[in-house]
């Protein structure tokens, strides 16, 4: 069975700083997808970034980038120039190719301080 582990329950950084959220996963699959979802206080789940396991290049979306280390089964999220609006719960998630089920980590609560 696949598992997703987020070892940082809560983090705080000053506005404009860079922050990295950790995520590790366990799977025997070779083809899968990894995601970072953001859940702000509104509770709306928002897809931040996705990574296909077969791609070596790290995904990037504006200020958000990932460090995907397939061999180490690590998938960290880097938020550059953090903004107050980045304050949210961040979930790392895994989905096996050909299977629609998303497995979520327990989340990291991120506070951006003014």
Phi, psi of 56 (to 5 degrees): -80, -30
Q: What is the CA radius of gyration of the chain?
A: 14
- Choices 17-25, 57-65, 74-82, 102-110 (CB under 8 A): range interacting with other proteins: 102-110
Q: In terms of Cα–Cα distance, which of 18, 6, 13 is closest to 78?
A: 18
Length of the chain: 114
- For other proteins, which is the closer residue by CB, 47 or 113? 47
Binding status of residue 30 toward other proteins by CB under 8 A: no
- Choices 22-30, 41-49, 55-63, 75-83 (CB under 8 A): range interacting with other proteins: 41-49
For residue 65, give both structure tokens.
Answer: 């980038």
Among 44, 71, 72, 114, binds other proteins (CB under 8 A): 44
For residue 49, give both structure tokens.
Answer: 């970034």
For residue 26, give both structure tokens.
Answer: 């366990």
Binding status of residue 100 toward other proteins by CB under 8 A: yes
Provide the binding-site residues for other proteins, judged by CB under 8 A.
33, 37, 42-47, 50, 52, 91, 100-102, 104-107, 109
């Amino acid at each position: 069975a696949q598992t997703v582990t987020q070892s940082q329950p809560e983090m705080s950084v000053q506005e404009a700083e860079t922050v990295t959220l950790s995520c590790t996963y366990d799977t025997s699959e070779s083809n899968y997808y990894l995601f970072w979802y953001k859940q702000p206080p509104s509770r709306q789940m928002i897809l931040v970034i996705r990574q296909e396991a077969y791609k070596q290049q790290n995904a990037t979306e504006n200020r958000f980038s990932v460090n995907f280390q397939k061999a180490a089964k690590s998938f960290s999220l880097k938020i550059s120039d953090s903004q107050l609006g980045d304050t949210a719960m961040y979930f790392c998630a895994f989905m096996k190719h050909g299977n629609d089920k998303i497995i979520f980590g327990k989340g990291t609560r991120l506070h951006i301080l003014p």
